Amino acid sequence: MEHLPAIDWTFAASTGRALVHPGPELSATAIADVVAELRDAASRATGHVAEVTELERPAPAQVLVVDRASWVSAVCQSAQSMMAGAGAGSADSPLAAARARALGAQAGGIFALVSSRILGQFDPFTEAPRLLLVAPNVVAVEQQLHVRPSDFRLWVCLHEETHRFQFGHAPWLRAHLLGLFSELLEGEELEFGWPRAGRPTSVRDLITNPAQREAFDQVTAVMSLMEGHADVMMDRVGTAVVPTYASIRRGFEARRDQRGWGSWVRRLFGFDLKREQYRDGAEFCRQVIDAAGVPTLNRSFEAPGLLPTLAEIHDPQLWLHRI
């Protein structure tokens, strides 16, 4: 296996931090209130998620309420850890160091753009796992959707806390994802090409290496399960805990589907793929729960061999028959 090119993640982080817009302007008192309420919401979400998921415990993690620049630093640290696990090379010559710096600048620019859209993220890939809540983005979406802030902050935390429970119930999941990521990047670089017939409809259509395409499908299946599971569990908590849940869900779905400049950015950086993962994974989880209950769905987090394939995500009966 060829080493992946080295990336200067320190330069990526400094570039990204320099490019981010700070977000909504708030007074020091208002910022302190947002931070305190997000921390409280994360704490309250844990019990609700435990009840609806029927999973035993969340993965240990520090809850960090951050701004956009701090999120950029955090995601660069996480990406560096993931790339090291996938066999990234080192900048052991002046030419390699220059290339690593250039790639770092590109990565930093991408993360700066993405930093305005991330509400929260459970990060299991650093030495000390953490749950990140990006305060300015939470406030910006609250203002855009005209929703009740206390309800929206708890709603966000319910989703991210569900990811903590997934990794807590499946401690092998971190290594499994890193292994799939390594397989996806096997070789000197991803092999892309234009499909022989018609226009591509997804990133997968452009991947020409069969092994890499298979790894991409496996990653997509796992992420679809995880994101769909978190969305469905949020729905199961519902209005009994978040009174304005229905209006938040409607507004947020409309925001996900908005067109214009935002839709171009979503396609460019893969947010449309993420949207499909939420939708397809949620439908898989709903059908499994309807047919066999939450405990059966939870079997998907017991071992790598029980994870659904991409074909099973789209046809839950295949998975139910297999297990």
User: Total domain count for the chain?
Assistant: 1
What pLDDT shows up at residue 48? 97
Is the model's pLDDT at 36 over the cut of 50?
yes
User: CB neighbours (10 Å) of residue 180?
Assistant: 22
Residue 3 lies in a domain: no
* pLDDT (tens digit per residue) in 138-165: 999 999 999 999 999 999 999 999 999 9
**Residue 1 falls inside a structural domain:** no
Q: How far is the C-alpha of 284 from the C-alpha of 208, rounded, in Å?
A: 28
Name the nearest CA neighbour of 2 among 207, 186, 179: 186
d(CA 204, CA 5): 22
Query: Could you report the per-residue pLDDT of 58-77, keeping only the tens digit for each?
Result: 999 999 999 999 999 999 99
Q: Which of 175, 89, 92, 77 is nearest to 130 (CA)?
A: 77
pLDDT score of 217 more than 50: yes
Percent above pLDDT 90 for the chain:
68
Q: Is residue 280 part of a domain?
A: yes
- Average pLDDT of the segment spanning 89-107: 83
Q: What ranges in the chain are assigned the alpha helix state H?
A: 9-19, 28-53, 68-85, 94-114, 135-145, 149-169, 173-184, 210-237, 245-256, 261-268, 271-292, 294-298, 310-314, 316-322
User: Is the pLDDT score of 87 beyond 60?
Assistant: no
pLDDT in tens, 225-277: 999 999 999 999 988 899 999 999 999 888 766 654 444 444 444 555 567 77
Give domain status of residue 152, yes or no. yes
pTM for this prediction: 0.86
For the stretch 45-63, pLDDT in tens is 999 999 999 998 999 999 9
Residues contacting 66, CB < 8 A, separation 6+: 74, 132, 133, 134, 135
Percent residues over pLDDT 70 in the chain = 83
Q: How confident is the model at residue 95, as a pLDDT?
A: 84
Residue 274: inside a domain: yes
- Predicted confidence at residue 83, as pLDDT, reads 81
pLDDT the model gives residue 187:
52
Name beta bridge partners: 62. 130
Q: What pLDDT score does 201 carry? A: 46
**pLDDT score for 269:** 47
Answer yes or no: is 2 within a domain: no
Q: Is residue 45 within 8 Å of 165, Cβ to Cβ?
A: no
Is residue 39 very low, low, confident or very high in pLDDT (cuts 50, 70, 90)?
very high
Please tell me the least confidently modeled range out of 2-11, 148-157, 211-220. 2-11
Q: What is the pLDDT of residue 91?
A: 62
Distance CA 236, CA 242 (A): 11
Q: Give residue 241's domain range.
A: 9-322
The reply to whether 52 falls in a domain is: yes
Please tell me the predicted confidence (pLDDT) of residue 239. Answer: 87
Q: Does the pLDDT of residue 196 top 60, yes or no? A: no
Tell me the pLDDT tens digit for each residue of 114-142: 999 999 999 999 989 999 999 999 999 99
Q: What is the mean pLDDT of the chain?
A: 86
- pLDDT, position 268: 46
Predicted pLDDT of residue 276: 77
Answer yes or no: is pLDDT of 182 > 90.
no
Stronger pLDDT, 184 or 193, i.e. the higher one: 184
